[in-house]
Amino acid sequence: MAKQLYLTAQFELEDADAFASNFHDHAKASRAKPGCLFFYLIRDRHNPARFATMECWEDYSYFEQHVNDEEHNAFHAKISQVWKREPDVMEADLLCGME
């Protein structure tokens, strides 16, 4: 059985309020994609220009499909114009859940 992929990505954006709806639309579209077990979008309470995603994919192949489809490519083209620097991304394995 393939391993699930857990991923976090932190973004700091220029003009975050103007971009927030694009980010929300991407999170919603991502949740609807095959293999997506969850996709959360959170925003820092103290720095509203800072966002993070927390997501889980059934396995790496579903994540690869996600980052190579038209929706993700269009989103990436938009967000890369407004981020302050490359996002900090961590691919991870689950060690324990919410017991």
Q: Is residue 98 over pLDDT 80?
A: no
Question: What tens digit of pLDDT does each residue of 16-48 get?
Answer: 888 888 989 999 999 999 999 999 999 999 999
66 Cβ contact list (under 8 Å, min separation 6): 30, 33, 35, 36, 57, 72
Q: Which residue has the higher pLDDT, 2 or 49?
A: 49
Q: Which two tokens stand for residue 89?
A: 């991304």
pTM summary value: 0.87
Compute the average pLDDT of residues 40-64.
Answer: 95
Both tokens of 24, joined, read: 């929300």
Give the total number of structural domains in the chain: 1
Domain limits for position 29: 1-49
Structural domain includes residue 59: no
Does any domain span residue 60? Answer: no
- DSSP secondary structure letter of residue 84: S
d(CA 99, CA 61): 28
Q: Is residue 45 part of a domain?
A: yes
Write down the pLDDT at residue 20.
Answer: 87
